[in-house]
Structure formats: C-alpha cells, structure tokens
Amino acid sequence: MNTLDNLSTKLFADGADRAEMLRLHADPRIHGFTTNPTLMRKARVADYHRFARDILKVISDRPISFEVFSDDFDAMFQQALEFSRWGENVYVKIPVMNTRGESTAGLVRDLAERGVKVNVTAVMTLQQVCEMTGALAGGPAAYISVFAGRIADSGRDPVPLMAAAVAMIGVAANIELIWASSRELLNVFQADAVGCHVITVTKDILDKLNLVGKDLREFSLDTVKMFYRDAQAAGYAWPQRAA
C-alpha cells in the first residue's frame, strides 16, 4: 500500500494564492513552490514583481520558481537575470520554446553559463528533454519540468516517457526532473515509482493527502453517506410528492 512515509519524490506546491502559499510554507511535507503567469492571473495578481518580492520575504528557505512573461529572447534573458537576483532560492522558469515554436535551448545555455538557476517548463517530448539536458548540464542547479498531466490529457500514458526522462537526465548531476501538471494524487506515487525527483501538486491534490492509505470499505461507506446526505439536503422524496 502506498504511504507518504517512504516517499522519495519531493512535493512542490503549485499556485499563486499568497495566503495558501504561506499556509503551505508551514507544512514540512512541502519542499518547494512553483508559479506561472496563468496561475498568477487566476489568483488576481496585478503586480508581478511586487507579489514575488513580497512572497520571498517569507519563502526564502525552499526553491521557488517564477516564469518570464516575454516572448522575445533578449527580453527573456534580461527578465531572467533580474528574477535571479531576487534570492538564492529563486529558479527562473523558461518555456521550452517561444510562441513561434523556436527552441529556447540557446537562451537556457546562456543563462546557465551566467549562473542562473533555470526551470525549463512546458516540456512534453524526450527530444526536448535531451536538448535541454545538454543546455543545462554542468551548470548551476536546474529543473526540467515535463508536463506529464498534459501528456495524459492527449491519451498517452506519461509513465514510460517520465521513466525515460529520468534516465536521460541522469548524466547531469545538477538537473532534477519535475513531474508537472499533475491531475490526481496517484501521480505522486507514479512519479516516485519511476524515480522522478519532484512533483508539482495543486491545492486540490494536496487536500487529498489525508486519504492516502484509507481503508477502501470505509471510503466506500463515506461515499454512500455523502450521496444520502446530498439527496436529503436537496429534498428528494419517495413516493414523489404530488405537484
């Protein structure tokens, strides 16, 4: 039976809600944090820089990733340099390509050579993993985030690809693989089984951690009780009341 006690894969909280991030910072099971512009927009973050600098006043002891939001390589480079100066624990998220489909491998290599800790994001193919491993190998600590959840959304099993990615980046001691865009709690244990270093998890998944190892008969009974309570709360009756 799966348990959290012997988990090797590190849990990173994925989100941009300030209150939730600060709450999770107090949870020793959370080893890091990731954000992106979409999550920030959803959380109604209006001032990107102010949000980041404010959250870093508290979260300074664990890795945290902030993503560049330019589509131009030169602007990405300048943004990345600025973000990296915010703190030793800051990783700069660089998308694997820009909106024109042009690889950012050269940019990633330049940043690594400047000592910037990079988190390459939106990766979905082994070719991309290979290319970015080459760009990051031998540099400072780095992450490659493979969007396993989105791979699964395409009808493909992400587990074999993630296992191959673990082996591929094994040649570079400075790189860790992130299982990104998780869809369910089971993904945590799938990531652990293939030796993935990190998995990013949203609040919805983190809220289910207390279900790990739960007795399935008890779980079944809880589910039946939920259906019954909801039927009662809705006022459903039998025989049906006359109109």
pLDDT digits 0-9 by tens, 131-181? 999 999 999 999 999 999 999 999 999 999 999 999 999 999 999 999 999
pTM, two decimals, is 0.94
* DSSP-assigned beta bridge partners for residue 82: none
Axis crossing angle, helix 73-84 with helix 105-113, rounded to the nearest 10? 30
Percentage with pLDDT > 90 across the chain: 95
Question: How far apart, in whole angstroms, are the C-alpha atoms of residue 209 and residue 48?
Answer: 30
- Residues 6 or more apart in contact with residue 237 via CB below 8 angstroms: none
**Mean pLDDT, to the nearest integer, of 81-88?**
97
Q: At residue 243, does pLDDT exceed 70?
A: no
- Residues 6 or more apart in contact with residue 108 via CB below 8 angstroms: 94, 118, 120, 132, 135, 136
Q: Where are the domains of the chain?
A: 10-212
Lowest mean pLDDT, pick from 105-119, 120-134, 226-240: 226-240
Q: Kindly report the CATH number that applies to the domain delimited by 10-212.
A: 3.20.20.70
174-202 pLDDT per residue, tens: 999 999 999 999 999 999 999 999 999 99
Task: Look at residue 69 and give its three-state secondary structure.
Answer: coil
Average predicted confidence (pLDDT) for the chain:
96
Instruction: Please tell me the predicted confidence (pLDDT) of residue 41.
Output: 96
- Residues 6 or more apart in contact with residue 13 via CB below 8 angstroms: 20, 21, 24, 30, 32, 33, 34, 200, 201, 202, 203, 206
Q: Is 55 exposed, middle or buried (0-12, 13-18, 19+ CB in 10 A)?
A: buried
